[in-house]
């Protein structure tokens, strides 16, 4: 039986490879940002937390490496267009585009934390 974390994501079982987990169990969703469509695929909670820790996004006292964090998220969560999945942040750097990757990162964070997206939708309905 699958295990779920607090945000409703299925956790990768300890003896299962990360690649197989992503391919067979991961959620997918297509979002539109600045008129472009991006297909997102979930990653395991362990990978997400470890990436946050390595890039200094979580905790205090560590140096944040936001560019590396964004690059890793774009390469590992975005599966289409293929150019973004292959090149990560460099794809937007080559275009001189700052706004789209910033907005896309917000969408990625909401996608990876479905509980936050649901609470945001609920708040919008109540307003």
Q: What is the pLDDT of residues 42-90, one digit of tens each?
A: 888 888 989 998 999 887 666 889 999 999 999 999 999 999 999 999 9
Three-state DSSP class for residue 41: strand
Selection from 16, 39, 20 nearest residue 29 by Cα: 39
Cα 127 from Cα 121, distance rounded (Å): 10
- Output the DSSP codes for 56-117: T-SSSSSPP-HHHHHHHHHHHHEEESHHHHHHTHHHHHHHT-SHHHHHHHHHHHHHH-HHHH
**Overall pTM > 0.85:** no
Helices 99-112 + 66-77 axis angle, to 10: 70
Handedness of CA 98, 46, 1, 117 (dihedral sign): negative
| Across 17-37, average pLDDT | 81
Contacts of 86 (CB under 8 A, 6+ apart): 75
The fraction of the chain above a pLDDT of 70, given in percent, is 71
């Amino acid at each position: 039986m699958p295990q779920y974390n607090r945000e409703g994501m299925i956790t990768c079982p300890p003896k299962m490879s990360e690649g197989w987990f992503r391919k067979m169990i991961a959620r997918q969703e297509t979002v539109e940002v600045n008129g472009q469509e991006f297909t997102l695929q979930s990653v395991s909670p362990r990978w997400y937390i470890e990436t946050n820790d390595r890039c200094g996004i979580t905790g205090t006292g560590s140096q944040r490496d936001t560019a590396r964090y964004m690059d890793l998220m774009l390469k590992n969560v975005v599966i289409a267009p293929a150019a973004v999945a292959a090149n990560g942040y460099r794809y937007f750097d080559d275009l001189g585009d700052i706004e789209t990757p910033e907005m896309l990162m917000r969408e990625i964070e909401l996608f990876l934390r479905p509980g936050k997206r649901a609470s945001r939708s609920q708040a919008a309905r109540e307003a």
